Every structure is written in structure tokens, then in C-alpha cells.
Chain A
Amino acid sequence: MKRYSKQGLWSLFLMCAFPLHAWTIILAFRDFSWVTERTNSWDAIGVVSYGLIFAFIESVVVFLVAILLGFLISKIWSEDRRIALLSTLVLVTSLWAMGSYLYFMLQVSISGETIDFLISLAHPLRFLYAISLAAVSVTVALPTYLILRSEKVLQGMRGFFERLSLLTLFYLFFDVVGLVIVIVRNI
């Protein structure tokens, strides 16, 4: 028996593509003005286009990794539930990755009290790793538990993913436009 249906895989791919594309689009448009200033707006469109194609490639890679992870999930649970779980894990991981970048983007500075506290510890680095691990574990374990155990949460997540999938289809359309632009620029 097949572990995943075509429809299930497609849903999973869309959910892998969503955070990667959304992040790329936000950053690429953030760069749009300085690239335009540097040369012109056609070049800025070029930067966005290459970025989208790269996001598509990364989406495929993440999707393949997610499929492999999917083999670790027992078939006791329905396909719907497994797809929802994998999608949630991809989304949570992406949010953590974005968070680590936002730290630099927003130039967050750690308060003096926090630094003093860390210095006062015997192993500040180990403490930071432990805190990070705990935070990541909670944000992964909690949704996993809820999706696997609660029908209400599952339905809620499915509805949420369906809405995001529609948006992702637009992003994939932009990928095609980006590909055309890249081809035109390289002819």
C-alpha cells in the first residue's frame, strides 16, 4: 500500500514551499530599492527572479527531506494526520530559522542585565544551548501531540494549510515568471 497519495504529497510540497517563498519575497523586495539604486529596476527584478528560483529549488530539497522523515511516522495514523504533522514541523522549523535571521535583521541587542546574568554562570554557552533546545523541543512536541491527539486541532490546521496552499500557488506562478525573466536575461 502506498504510504502517501499524490494529493497528500502535493499538499506537503505546497507547505514546504510556503515559508521559503514568503521569506524570499519579503527579503527580495526589501533589497529591491538598493539594487534599483545600484543599477536599475530591471536588475532588481532580476535579483527577485533568481531568488524565487532558488526558493523553488530549496523547497524541493526540504520536501524530499520531509518525505524521508515521513517514513519514520507510523502508519497507525491516517495520511491526513501525518501530512498535517509533517507540514507543521516544516513550518515550525522555518519559523525558528526566520527567528535566527530576524535577530540580525532587527539588530536585537541583549540587555545588560541578561549579559551580566550569563557572565555570572559557570557555563553560559551551555546554558544558552539548553534554553534553545528546551524552546525548540516545546514548539515541536506540543503541536505534534495536539495534531496526533486532537481532531479539532487537526481540522483547524488543515483549514489553515488549505488557505496557505492557495497563496503558495501564487508563489509558484511567480516562480514561472521568474524563470522566464532569468532566461530572457541570459539570452
Chain B
Amino acid sequence: MKTRITRRDFLKLAGLLPLSIAAPGLANSLPPGEQTGASQNVIIIVFDAFSAHNISLYEYGRETTPNLARLAERAVVYHNHYAGGNFTTPGTASLLTGTLPWTHRAFHHREKVEEPFVNKNIFSAFQGYHRTVYSHNPLVDVYFEQFKKGIEDWIPRNRLFLRNDIIVPTLFSRDEDIATVSWVRSIKNKEEGFSYSLFLSHLYELFQEEKIKDFKPQFPNGLPNIAGDNYYTLGDATDWLGENLRNFPQPFMGYFHFLPPHAPYATHKDFYGRFAHDGWKPERKPPDSLFSDANYKEEQDLKKRKNYDEFILYVDSEFKRLFEYLDASGLSENTWVVLTSDHGEMFERGITGHKTPVLYEPVIRIPLMIFEPGRKTRADVHLPTSAVDLLPTLLHVTGQKQADWTEGIVLPPFSDLNPDSGRNVYVLEAKKNKKYAPLSLATATLVKGQYKLMYFFGYDELGGEERIELYDLEGDPEEMNDLHVSKMETSQELLNELKIKLAEVNEPYQ
């Protein structure tokens, strides 16, 4: 039997119409304190290769982050936060899956994570959220591709490039990495001064130069870029994000991975030369006995460090601008904002960059700042924390169902439990180890309390020996004095713990 709506019923329902239109907006207009975690947004901003070692907020000798220092007054600042690995692939995979490299197995360049994590990651965990992602770095796109079922809005990488080569990703989408490497080597002669192409490369460069000529004066060290001539500016990225954030359906979860301060260190003219004559010099460290670059020159290294530090000034300034967008739109009142990185960068011991087997602090210690909605005070956490902690923490604070697969913990001060000062934090570098084999050629680090143990094993350079180093990070944050011999007992204790852990994670691959 059909239900008929009388004229009287219709008028009753019509009275509710204005309320039904206003209802979705009401949730967002509630004061921050009255909002539930589930209605709050999450934004993760990752600055690639951003080392905590070079951040003045973390007591670096140069004032590289004056704006972060000001913003820290309304944030939780983590002082001893560690990446999962020492380059983008393992570092980002750990952040996104909440697991360490020996679990997600993405420790080779451009490696995918293990199949189960396709449905066990930060995006799949934030069900009911509008999930938006962007990355300048193609290595991160590997994960967006893997996790795309949990992503509503994947912004294409070239959206924020000043000019780009759409030919390669379009024609060779299944082999984009190597097609891009070859394309760069074939036609782009600017990077090294030569290319495979003898003639067309010159025409190509002339054509491309025309597109970016207006931006060049703003960047005296050259335009920031990836793969030779995918040029971008962080300013563009900030404006794009700031202007689009308010249009994302709420609640949203956004992951934005920007390349600065990753090499090439090309800062904006406003910061260029800022540290050129400041007279500051880092503590001098001897070249690494096995892994330093044979062509290392201290002067070049100091210059690169200066350029990197000036690039950080640009990052710092743009993050402040992003926050101004958030404040102006009111989003900072109902949005959790996270600033972090995927790995660090180093300029010491004869090693520049992050392509290295070593795991000294500059290459693994990264920033972590969590901006709680409406927070007006600063909190500092000095306990060692890990990139794998971010996923469980964000799920906890937004009232989501906790992920049962993660190896991380809910970070203080958000955890209901007391912080564990004796917790083990691990970092792994295993680029040369086979993916589905026990770890036999790698560097593993264990940070526990004030101590840090670095364990190298399986490298040809070691001639069958192991290399073990122990540092007291509280008394010797620059890792100048190896205590492996003088504090043999502590060293042995940590080494045993690390070996037990390695045996445990190797078990499925024996």
C-alpha cells in the first residue's frame, strides 16, 4: 500500500528543511573544545631530507628556524624523533604503515611495501575521512599507487611543477622510474654538462628555459628541482595547499610531501647568502673509516651545508605562511597539523647527503611537531620516538579505531599510559640486503634512553668483521666519542637486545 503525504504532512516536513541544510555545517562551527576527535581534520606535512640536526629549534648553531620556534609555542615538540630509515623509501613507508623497514620490507630504492600493507596503512586506517595526498617526490608516489584504494584525491605530481615532462610518465607509466632516469640522461644536459643526445638536448634546453625564465631571478642557486628540470617552488605549493585546504570535504586527512630541503639546495633569494659570512663552523669530525667519499673536500662540504641551512630558512618561512592560511581559514582550530620528515641529511665525516650505510644522528634524527587543534601552550618531549608512532598517535587523538598491526606507540603526552623511558627505538638501513632474505648485510641502530648503538654487519668493507659503535647522546650529541670499548657492558647489553630483535624479524625469512 502506498503511503500518501498529505498537504499537512508536507508543510510539517518543509519546516525542517532549513535545519537539514544547516546541520552538516554546524558540526564544523562548534568551538574546538566541543568537537569530537572524529570530526577533526589531520594534515601531515613532510619536508623531505629535513634533518633535526640542522634545525635551530633543536639547538643547531645557526638560526635556521625562527618561525618554527615561534610556532612551537603552540605545539608538542619531539626532540629525539627518528626516521625508520635513512632515505625516502624506508622512511616514508615506516611513517605511512606504522611499521619498521624489516616488517614492511621497503628498504631498497623505490621498493613497494609488502602486500598486506596495501590495506594496512594510514589512509586505510582513516575510514570516513576525505583523504588527499600530494608528493613532489616520485618515490612516495609508489605508495600512493599501492594505497590508492584508501585515497579519494591523489593530486598528480606535475600539478605543482613549473614545467614538466608529461611525455615520460604518460608513455611509460609502468616503468616511470627508469624511463625518467634515461630521459634525464638522454636529453637534459644542464645537470652534468653532457647528455646522450648531441643535438636535440640543446633545443630542448632552450625550449624549457623559456618557460621558467621569470622564476630564475628568485633563486640564485638555481630553481629547486627534481630529476634535472622538474622545477618547483615551495611558495607555489604553500599557496596551492593554503587555498585548497578550505575546499576539502571535512573531516579530511591530508598527506603532503614536499621536497625542500632535499638537494639541490636552492633557496629563495630572500635567504640566499644569509649564512655566507656568519663565521659559524660545525664541530669537526674525522672522515668515516669505511664509508666516507674518497673525493671529499671539507670546503665543499661546508658550502653545501651552508646552502642546505639557507634552504631550511625557506622551508621555515613557507611553513609559517601555511600556518597563516590555516589560521585565516579557521582550520587550525579543528585540525591536527603534523610537521615531520622522512629522513635527515648529513654534512660530516666525509659523507654528504643521505646515500650512505651509516646511521649517524644527522641522517636519521628528524623533526616532529604536532599542533593540536586550539592548543596555546608548548610541550617538549625528550624521550626517543619513532616515525612508526605517528600512525597510532593520530588514530588515538582523532578517536579512530587503533591499528593492530603497527609497531609504534601512542606518543606522550597524548597516551593514557606513562611514557616508557626504556623503550627501544630502531632504525634500519639495508639497501643491499635481499628483500626476502634474513638481514645479513645492513646497518641497524638501537636508541634506548641516552644511549645509541650502531651495528654494521655483512659489508665487504668489514672483511667479515662486525662494526659496533656506542654513543651517549645526552653527554655527546655530536657522537664524537665511541664508547663501545669503554662502556663494554652497556654496549653488549644493547647489542644483545638488537641481535635478539634481528633474529626475531629474520625468522620468517630463514
Judging by beta carbons under 8 Å apart, are B185 and A61 in contact?
no
Encode contact with B along A174-187: 1 for CB under 8 Å, 0 otherwise.
00000000100111
Does A54 contact B182, Cβ atoms closer than 8 Å?
yes
Q: Is the CB of B196 within 8 A of A24?
A: yes
Query: Of A98-106, A109-117, A129-137, which stretch is located at the interface?
Result: A98-106
A175 to chain B, nearest CB (A): 13
A33-49 Cβ-contact flags toward B at 8 Å (1 or 0): 00100110001001101
Q: Mark A10-52, 1 if CB is under 8 A from B, else 0.
A: 0000000001100110011001000100110001001101110
Asked if B196 contacts A19 (CB within 8 A), the reply is no
Of B173, B174, B185, B187, the residue contacting A27 (CB under 8 A) is B185
Q: How many residues of chain B get a CB closer than 8 Å to chain A's CBs?
A: 26
The B356-415 residues at the A interface (CB cut-off 8 A) are none
Q: Is B192 positioned at the interface, with any CB of A under 8 Å from its CB?
A: yes
Would A50 and B179 count as touching, CB distance under 8 A? yes
CA distance A28 to B183 in the complex (A): 12
Docked Cα-Cα span, A101 to B178, in Å, equals 23
CB neighbours of A94 from chain B (8 A): 198
Given contacts A39-B108, A43-B178, A185-B175, A97 and B199 within 8 Å (CB-CB): yes
| CA distance in complex: A133, B198 (Å) | 19
How many A-B pairs have beta carbons closer than 8 Å: the answer is: 88
Contact with A along B166-184 (1 / 0, CB 8 A): 0000001111011101110
Contact (Cβ within 8 A) B110 A51: no
**Which chain B positions have C-beta within 8 A of A148?**
none
Asked whether A103 lies within 8 Å of B193 as measured between CB atoms, the reply is yes
**How many residues in A have their beta carbons less than 8 Å from beta carbons of B?**
34
CB contacts (< 8 Å) of A105 on chain B: these are 192-194
Q: A98: which B residues are within 8 A, CB to CB? A: 198
Q: Does A62 lie at the interface of the complex (its beta carbon under 8 Å from any beta carbon of B)?
A: yes
Taking the closest CB of chain A, its distance from the CB of B269, in whole angstroms, is 26
Q: Which of B181, B187, B192, B195 has the most CB of A within 10 A?
A: B181
- Taking CB as reference atom, which chain B residue is nearest A49? B182
Report the bound CA distance from A102 to B189 in whole Å: 12
Contact among A35, A43, A50, A182 for B186, CB-based, below 8 A: A50
Question: Is B197 at the interface (CB under 8 A from chain A)?
Answer: yes
> Which B residues lie within 8 Å of A47 (CB)?
178, 181-182, 185
**Residues in chain A near residue B181, CB distance under 8 A:** 35, 43, 47
Q: Given known contacts A39-B109, A104-B193, is B182 in contact with A19 (CB within 8 Å)?
A: no
Q: Is A186 in contact with B175, judged by CB distance below 8 angstroms?
A: yes
> At the interface, yes or no: B488 with Cβ under 8 Å from chain A?
no
- Find chain A residues with CB under 8 A from B437 CB: none
Residue B500 interfacial (CB < 8 Å): no
Can you name the residue of chain A whose Cβ is closest to the Cβ of B171?
A186
Shortest distance from the beta carbon of A160 to any chain B beta carbon, whole Å: 20
Whole-angstrom distance from the CB of A86 to the nearest CB of chain B? 15
Cβ–Cβ < 8 Å partners of A187 in chain B: 174
Closest chain A residue, CB of each to CB of B196:
A24
* Partner among A27, A39, A61 whose Cβ is within 8 Å of the Cβ of B110: A39
Residue in chain B with minimal CB distance to A19? B198
Contact mask for chain A residues 132-175; partner B; CB cutoff 8 A; 1 contact, 0 none: 00000000000000000000000000000000000000000000
Instruction: Choose one: A24, A101, A186; the contact of B174 (CB below 8 Å).
Output: A186
- Kindly name the residue among B175, B195, B197 whose own CB sees the greatest number of chain A CB atoms within 10 A: B197
- Give every chain A residue within 8 A of B198 (Cβ-Cβ): 19-20, 23, 58, 94, 97-98, 101
Cβ-defined contact, A104 with B182, below 8 A: no
B200 CB → nearest A CB, Å: 5
The residue that B185 contacts in the complex, of A51, A93, A182, with Cβ under 8 A, is A51
Of B108, B181, B182, B196, chain A has the most CB atoms within 10 Å of the CB of B196
Supply 17 further A-B pairs (C-beta < 8 A) apart from A43-B177, A105-B192: A24-B196, A27-B194, A39-B108, A39-B178, A47-B181, A47-B182, A49-B182, A50-B178, A50-B182, A50-B183, A58-B198, A97-B199, A101-B189, A101-B194, A101-B195, A103-B193, A186-B173
Closest 5 CB pairs of A and B: A104-B193, A50-B182, A101-B194, A97-B198, A46-B178
List 13 contacting pairs A-B, 8 Å CB cutoff, sorted by A. A23-B198, A31-B185, A47-B178, A50-B178, A51-B182, A51-B185, A61-B199, A97-B199, A104-B193, A105-B192, A182-B175, A186-B172, A186-B174
Interface residues of B (CB under 8 A from A): 108-110, 172-175, 177-179, 181-183, 185-187, 189, 192-200
